[in-house]
Every structure is written in structure tokens, then in C-alpha cells.
Amino acid sequence: MLFDRAYYIDKIREYNKKIKCEKINKFEVSKIDGLKGIIPHYLYELNEEIEESIIELSDNTKTWMRLTPLEIEGCYESIKRAKGTVGVVGLGLGYFIQEILKKKEVKKITVYETSKDVIEIYKHNFGEDDRIEIIQEDAFKSQSRNFDFFFVDIYEYKLTSKIAEDYKFFNELHNIKEYSFWGVERFLLSCTMEDLMHLCIPEEWMDMARDLYDKFNDSYYFNQFKPLDYKEIEKLLNAFERIL
């Protein structure tokens, strides 16, 4: 089950075996000695201890990604829906890519990543795969393509109006059947029904939110739901109102 401790601990252990510590120029993959205390999850927080090493990708200025319960749970629905020809903006540690490669429904993956060093780190850990094309370029300057599923994960766990702007941009640039971004379910579950009545929300987003809600409802943590700050929600809602 998604929100069971065993699920995310197993994923952390799996990728600890696959990903090595390495530094190329300013980018570095390192491992910290577990987590203890109030740990953010995708829909709640939990006071717990994780003894397994936590993998993180950082540069000289900040941490770009950590493989934590927050990341693992937040990718779940998009991994589940990925199929056919998939476009991905942002490579990170490669967790999302490796998870969708496990699916026979996924035929081809095109990844847009600006950093040559991040690409090299990924290849050192996971090698080459005929289904993956990693393009070292700015996704916003790429050529038009056709995608069955398109996933954007460049927002550092934050909700801003840029999410709506990027949604509009990429859907105009490419022919995309289903579009997703990291955080879409938590955004919708943090909204009121009145908020959503004013928007023509893509049906796949509603399906993802409903599925995640049902799984969360069956967990021990349903009453601990932590919605996003409404000021953040309102900004993104206003941005989407001009688009959807």
C-alpha cells in the first residue's frame, strides 16, 4: 500500500543499491544518515525515524532532490498513468524514469535535462536503455513532438503560478494527450469544491486526485492531512483560471 511505511522504505533501499555517491563538477550525489523527527510526506507529516541512508542530489547552492517519502509518494500517480510515448522535464536522480521503465505500457521516454553533469551521473548509475532518449537542452526551447504522457518535475516541491504558465506553454509546443506535474494531486485535494467549480480541470487530474484520496482514506493517516497554504493555492488557481 502506498502510504504504508514498508512501501517507501523498500523504495529507499532499492535505490540505495542502485545509486552511487559521485561528484561531477558542481553536482554531487551523496547519502545522509537517515532521517529522524517530523518527516514531510506528500499529504501529511509523521514523527518517525528512517534508518536507511537518504540519497540526495545537490550543487554548490542547494539540494535539488532527495529520495524521501515525500518524493516517492508524490510521484506515485504519475508513474501509474505513464504510458506510450512519455516526455519528462527534469532528470533529477532518475527515480521517476526508472520506475516508469518497469512498465510494459511505456514504449519510449524523452527526457529534457539542461545539465550534462546530471545526465552523466544518471548514466553511471543506470547505463543506457533503448527506450530512453535524454536530450541535453532547455525543454522550453525544444522542437515540437507527440506525447501520450508528459510529466514536469522542476518546481522543487513548491506551487507557483509558473506551473500554469508551463502547462500552457508545453501544451502549445507539443501534442500532449495527458499532462501532469509533481504536486497536482495535493494541489487539488487542498482546494475547496467551490474553488474547482470555476475551472475546467483535466479529467486525468481529477482521476489522479480521487485515486490518491481513496488510498489515503484507507491509511492510518487520513485524519492528519496537511493541506497546502491557501495563499499558494489561490495564486495557482488564479493562474489556471486564465488558461483552463
Give the model confidence (pLDDT) of 179-229 as tens digits. 999 999 999 999 999 999 889 999 999 999 999 999 999 999 999 999 999
Domain that holds residue 47: 5-72
Assign 30 to helix, strand or coil: strand
**The total number of structural domains that make up the chain:** 1
Cα 238 to Cα 94: distance, rounded to the nearest angstrom: 32
Per-residue model confidence (pLDDT) at position 60: 87
Domain membership flag for residue 221 = no
CA distances from 218 to 38, 71, 166 (A): 22, 20, 33
pLDDT higher than threshold 90 for residue 244: no
pLDDT higher than threshold 90 for residue 127: yes
Domain membership flag for residue 18 = yes
Cα 25 to Cα 59: distance, rounded to the nearest angstrom: 9
Give the model confidence (pLDDT) of 35-85 as tens digits. 999 999 999 999 999 999 999 999 988 999 999 999 999 999 999 999 999
Q: Is 87 left (phi over 0), alpha (psi -120 to 50) or beta?
A: beta
Per-residue model confidence (pLDDT) at position 216: 97
Domain membership flag for residue 88 = no
Q: What is the dihedral of CA 226, 203, 89, 92, to 10 degrees?
A: 40
Average pLDDT, the chain: 97
Give the model confidence (pLDDT) of 144-166 as tens digits. 999 999 999 999 998 899 999 99
Per-residue model confidence (pLDDT) at position 198: 83
Domain membership flag for residue 177 = no
Domain membership flag for residue 50 = yes
Per-residue model confidence (pLDDT) at position 190: 97
Q: Cβ atoms within 10 A of the Cβ of 56, count? A: 17
pTM above 0.75, yes or no: yes
Domain membership flag for residue 85 = no
Domain membership flag for residue 189 = no
